[in-house]
Amino acid sequence: MEITTNLTGERIKKYLSQGKRFDGRKENEFREIKIEKDISKNAEGSVRVNIGKTEVLVGVKLGIGEPYPDSPEKGNLMTTAELLPLSSPRFESGPPKFPAIELARVIDRGIRESKYIDFDKLCIKKGEKVWTVFVDIYTINDDGNLFDAAGIGAITALKNAKMPKYDEETGKILFGEWTDEKVPLSDGTPISITAHKIGDRFIIDPTREEEDVSEVRITAGISNGIISSMQKGNSESLSMEDMDKILDLLEKTERELFKKLEKFLK
């Protein structure tokens, strides 16, 4: 299970060329998505996301920090991701390596660029004190498509996150006590969707094996058809026609996925 053999890879491609996948899904079909809220009570918001056998935990914590000099009236966002060795024989302990850094940054940009969080409302004192929103992603089982699982986890965890109480006199957060307020968010929810090119076919939500033979990966943060972030991965090139197909696929998938997620985003 550690590596996907060439033989398996060729079989995946051969099947796909006939529009078929090993698990019988259509090219643009997600595996079953399960979302469980409030999985960790000390977090301001937390969720468990399962996409098929892939599982991630996402937690939101709030902290107090200094604003950046170029945005003295805006709160901060910090996204981290850890590919826990617990979740796959491929992941090792140690400082984050590129895949974890990339995952965190792609999710970070999806949230940031879409202006999902209303940072203007997270200012406590101009130029001195602002809220920092921490979005922490942990993988529990990697069976492909961690990007979308993490993206879905991030938006649902944020949507469910409550603001902790803040003591103005001491300038400290009263952890464990929450206000009725939610973390301020905008309406446009950025949904992370990743498309892969395998042979001359395009699929979404790859399993681990499919991801291994993917030639190109495109992750986009989309909200109501508006793309706010995008990242291409892997070293193959894409023709313009390919790109058109991917954009169509992403747009169509976003609508379907949003319907599935709607009840968790209220």
What residue ranges bind other proteins (CB under 8 A)? 1, 39-44, 46, 53, 55, 57, 59-61, 63, 80, 82, 84-89, 93, 95, 134, 136, 138, 140-143, 173, 175-176
Most distant CA atoms of the chain, gap in Å:
67
Name the minimum Å distance from CB 45 to other proteins.
9
Nearer to other proteins, 88 or 219 (CB): 88
Tokens representing 137 are 């992603």
3-class DSSP string for 75-114 = CEEEEEEECCHHHCCCCCCCCCCHHHHHHHHHHHHHHHHC
Name the minimum Å distance from CB 231 to other proteins.
22
Nearer to other proteins, 144 or 195 (CB): 144
Residue (of 176, 175, 171) closest to 66 by Cα position: 171
Nearer to other proteins, 59 or 206 (CB): 59
Name the minimum Å distance from CB 73 to other proteins.
23
Outline where the chain has alpha helix (H): 6-17, 98-113, 146-159, 208-212, 240-261
Tokens representing 60 are 């939101």
Nearer to other proteins, 153 or 242 (CB): 153
**Rounded to whole angstroms, how far apart are CA atoms 150 and 55?**
9
Phi-psi region of 54 (alpha: psi -120 to 50; beta: other; left: phi over 0): beta
Name the minimum Å distance from CB 141 to other proteins.
5
CA 27 to chain centre: 21
Nearer to other proteins, 142 or 242 (CB): 142
Name the minimum Å distance from CB 89 to other proteins.
5
